[in-house]
Structure 1
Amino acid sequence: MIEVERLTKRYGPATAVEDVSFACRPGTVTGFLGPNGAGKSTTMRMICGLTPASSGTATVLGVPFRSLPNPGRHVGVLLDASAQHAGRTGRETLALTAQLLGVPSARADQMLETVGLAGKAAGRRVGNYSLGMRQRLGIAQALVGDPSVLILDEPANGLDPEGIYWMRTLLRGFADRGGTVLLSSHLLHEVEAVADTLVVIAGGRVVANGTKSELLAPSGRTLVRALDPAALYTAVVSANLTVIRREPPTSDGLGEGLVVEAPAEAVGRAAAASGVALTELRQAGGGGLEELFLTLTGRPAAPAAPRPPAPAGPSVPQEALR
């Protein structure tokens, strides 16, 4: 369980995070989303006790992170995979973590196997790892203590499509066994596939917070396109309808579109009254999480990675890591 209440962080006159509140419950994956500079990493660092809050509170398992006895046994954290010691091997890194947390050394080898770094990869120095391999090692390090909570900032960064699918399966399984996951990522398709709850932050403030089904439910907005986009815009505005945003032309030749805050019937009548020929008229909302993100933040997210075929199991062949 993670609970954040009115969390605020100021740096002099600048406010990085303002009045942020949300909760992550056992058995769920919470997707924590927002454009670059929105305050996601700052919020996660405050939850983990690495950055002091200006005001508000953040608790993990009912207490501030710093009050947890041997916190790695309760909370697995991955905020920056590049922060690992470059001179140690993967096995040495996890063996040292196991020793510090007071868990059997065999746990290190178990986690190397789980994340696909067993064998030769375990004996390589971390400085020679690819970004994806360092991410895998960071996830393994977060899991060594057998925690009940995971806090992960961009864990899919550097993973190939098969690795992303593996990570999604791992996180879903962790939550289904009763664990709590807070996941920050720019890969919206992957978040949509694994998350139960979504928290969207923009400009340091929460702009959406709810279950995936609630936030991605069909809206009362309409997507409309016409042969003459300029005439369409004039017709919609003249009918006192609100244009939320413009949509780019489609790959199959349909021109620029508009997302309008009105039912399809009202938009169609406005176009007909001005003699505008439409090429598309439908309820907006088919864009899923990406459309929600664009609507709330006004910025595009990182492109989704290609969807890979489902592997036979959670382990990944060593050659896929290189």
Structure 2
Amino acid sequence: MIAVEHLSKRYGRHAAVEDVSFVCEPGTVTGFLGPNGAGKSTTMRMICGLTPPSSGGATVCGVGYRHLPNPGRQVGVLLDAAAQHAGRTGREALTLSAQLIGVDRRAVEEKLDLVGLNAVAAKRRVRAYSLGMRQRLGLAQALLGDPRVLILDEPANGLDPEGIYWMRGLLREFADRGGTVLLSSHLLREVEAVADQLVVIGRGRVVARGSKRELLAGAGTLVRARDPQTLAGALRRAGLAVTAATDGALTVPADAGAVGQVAADAGVALLELRPAGGGGLEQMFLTLTAGDSVKEAVR
């Protein structure tokens, strides 16, 4: 299990992560979502003990990551597929990792086969690998010690559609065997297909968390109008909160009947009126993170 409690990280006056809390249970895949610079990678680095938090903390398997006696045998981590020795072959990289964590060398060939790196690819230098091949090698390293927990930051980057489908099945099978997966990704449809729980972060803070069903059911009403500014003003005067998405739609935490009545009273023509959850995870994400900066946080 992964438990994050009131985790914060500040760089001078800039708050990269602010009071983030969530739990990833065994047997589940947790999708960790947010725009660029929202604090996802910083949070994951703090969970793995690579970045010291300003306050709060995180535990993996009941203790802080740095206190795990042999973390590679309990937690598989992939935070940056490019952070691999370019001069080694894929097999050499895995063999050294196996020696480091005390795994039988036979596991190297098993994991290479599992992630789809054949004998030719295994003998190739990492510098010649495509991004997708580096992702597969990084996954093989994460899985090498047969861990109970996986922490993966954008692992689908560089994979083709077939590779993404394969990874989705791999993570689903891992969780179904009782494993815990924390997965960050900007590929929202793929996260929606595999995740059991979602944590959405914006500007360093958690803006939503829960199951897909819970979050999508509570998304309110999505409305589009010929004159969105007039409609937004009318809704606010009626005491309804309004969130403007980047695509021009408005989301209101009220039922469609109430929104439609306000529009009718204001004489505003509507182009679309439906439950916001009908747009799926992508629409919910755009609504929750509307207006957030897409600039990378200062590291």
- Under a length normalisation based on structure 2, what TM-score does the superposition of the two structures give? 0.91
Structure 2 CA distance for aligned equivalents of residues 299 and 107 of structure 1: 47
1:281 and 2:273 equivalent? yes
2:203 is matched with 203
SS in 2 for 1:83: coil
Q: Once the 2 structures are TM-superposed, how far is the Cα of residue 299 of structure 1 from its aligned partner?
A: 5.5
Alignment of 1:183-194 (within 5 A): 183-194=183-194
The Cα shift of 1:81 comes to 0.6
Aligned match of 1:317: none
* Partner SS state of residue 217, structure 2: coil
SS of the residue corresponding to residue 157 of structure 2 reads coil
| TM-fit CA distance, 1:266 | 2.6
Residue 215 of structure 2 aligns with which residue? Answer: 215
CA separation of 1:257 and 1:141: change in aligned 2, threshold 3 A: closer
CA distance in structure 2 between the aligned counterparts of 1:6 and 1:174, rounded to whole angstroms: 28
2:49 alignment partner, SS class: coil
Alpha-carbon displacement from aligned partner over 1:57-113 (angstroms, at most 9, x marks no partner): 111101111111111000000001101001111111111111111111010000010
Within-5 A mapping of 1:1-322: 1-225=1-225, 229-230=226-227, 233-235=229-231, 237-238=233-234, 240-241=237-238, 242=240, 243-245=242-244, 248=247, 257-298=249-290
Aligned AA (1:284)? A
Checking the alignment, whether the CA contact within 8 Å between 2:219 and 2:253 is kept in structure 1 is: no
Q: Distance in 1 between matches of 2:28 and 2:52?
A: 27
Aligned-residue offset at 1:154: 0.5
TM-score of the superposed pair, with normalisation by structure 1: 0.84
Check whether the contact 1:222–1:283 (CA below 8 A) recurs between aligned residues: yes
Amino acid at match of 2:230: T
Distance 1:257 1:73, change over 3 A: closer
Q: Report the alpha carbon displacement of residue 41 of structure 1 after superposing the two structures with TM.
A: 0.8
| SS of equivalent to 1:287 | helix
Q: Deviations over 1:178-214 (max 9, x none)?
A: 0000101111111111111111111111111212221
Decide whether aligned partners of structure 1 residues 201 and 218 sit closer, same or farther in structure 2, where only a CA change above 3 A counts: closer
Aligned equivalents of 1:28, 1:89: Cα separation in 2: 33
Consecutive unaligned residues of structure 1, counting only runs of 5 or more, are 249-255, 303-322
Query: 1:247 Cα shift?
Result: 6.7
Structure 2 CA distance for aligned equivalents of residues 56 and 205 of structure 1 = 13
Residue ranges of structure 2 left out of the alignment (5+ in a row): 295-299
Does the CA contact (< 8 Å) of 1:150 and 1:180 recur in 2? Answer: yes
Counterpart contact for 2:203–2:293, Cα < 8 Å: no
Say which SS state the counterpart of residue 158 (structure 2) adopts: coil
Query: Structure 1, residues 299-319: CA drift from partner, whole Å, max 9, x if none?
Result: 5999xxxxxxxxxxxxxxxxx
**Per the alignment, do residues 61 and 28 of structure 1 end up closer, same or farther by CA in structure 2, a change over 3 Å counting?**
same
- The CA deviation at 1:9 is 1.2
Is the 1:29–1:175 Cα contact (8 Å) retained in structure 2? yes
Please tell me the root mean square deviation across aligned C-alpha atoms, in Å.
2.1
Larger Rg: 1
How many aligned residue pairs are there?
Answer: 291
Q: 2:69 is aligned with what amino acid?
A: P
d(CA) in 2 for partners of 1:247, 1:155: 26
